[in-house]
Amino acid sequence: MSIFIGSGVALVTPIDANNKINYNVISDLIDFHLKNDTDALIINGSTGESPTISDIEKIEILKFVVKKVNGKIPVIAGTGTNDTAHAIRTSIDAEKCGVDALLVVTPYYNKGNDSGIFDYYKKIAGSVKIPIIIYVVPSRTGVNLSIKLLKQLAQIENIVAIKDATGNLSYTAQIAAEIPKLDIYSGNDDVAVPVISLGGKGVISVSANIIPKETHEMAWASYNNDYDKARKLQLKYLSLINSLFIEVNPIPVKEAMNVLGFDVGSCRSPLGPIAEEAKIKIIENLSKNGVKL
């Protein structure tokens, strides 16, 4: 059984004027996503600024979200890092909070060789009982995983899916053809439909922060083989999706959300204020696509 099908939002972490987590806005965002048919919430991921969120804050956020969601849709926690022992502790803590699954990024900076990466995932998987999604995002980590290594990792019982943010559809197709055990989620909004058409189960989306219903409909149309509808939605929102990556994620999407009235605040340092020309581009695309609160 898949962890979820459709659109999982990589939720931003709202920050208030005192650089603290804004739980009132988190509550509002959860209501917004439940109302607009988002299929899963991904918490403490890259879009949630996980590198600048302390371990204590991460646990507090997870407890809050799990309680608020109350089982209505899956809650998935980002717990990967470049220190295996740290990732194990974070994964155990997240499971105790009641999350439904873990999103575990490949080790970054120190990277790891194949044997080390296998050990990393094996030890994390062995420390919890809930499902694990491998997260491959070479543009951030400098690390890709070979098909050979993925086949080995897929033999671990609770490693059940992969978030493929490579943007390489040949790689996606190879996974689908050779490792059917792994559910595939697109990690790139701009190729969500092609990834799902190759057998993917959905998308873990940044743009769903502002167009949740449309992202849900696009993912489900593709999953149900209604490619005419899926293609039209993918192409309609392509310029908006691209504008959300005009600077480092999540700077642009938080700016878009603030413009729309969500009051998610700024990003924590070292992510600084958005450039004025980028802000103008985002506002133009929001207006062009009729996106409003």
Residue 163 is a catalytic residue? yes
Using an 8 Å Cβ cutoff, are 137 and 105 in contact?
yes
Pairing of strands 183-186, 159-164: parallel
Amino acid letter at 96?
Answer: K
Cβ(121)–Cβ(150) under 8 Å? no
Asked whether 78 and 45 are in contact (CB, 8 A), the reply is yes
Active-site option among 120, 121, 163, 281: 163
Active site residue 122: no
51 in helix, strand or coil? helix
Contact residues for 288 (Cβ-Cβ < 8 A; gap 6+): 239, 240
In whole angstroms, what is the distance from residue 161 CA to residue 151 CA? Answer: 12
Select which of 120, 121, 135, 185 is catalytic.
135
Please name every residue paired with 7 in a beta bridge, in sequence order, or none if there are none: 203
Q: Where in the chain does DSSP place strands (E)?
A: 6-10, 40-43, 75-78, 101-105, 132-136, 159-164, 183-186, 202-205
Q: How many CA atoms lie within 13 A of 196 on its CB side?
A: 29
d(C-alpha 265, C-alpha 252), whole Å:
12
Closest CA to 181 of 193, 199, 168: 199
Q: Which residues are catalytic?
A: 135, 163
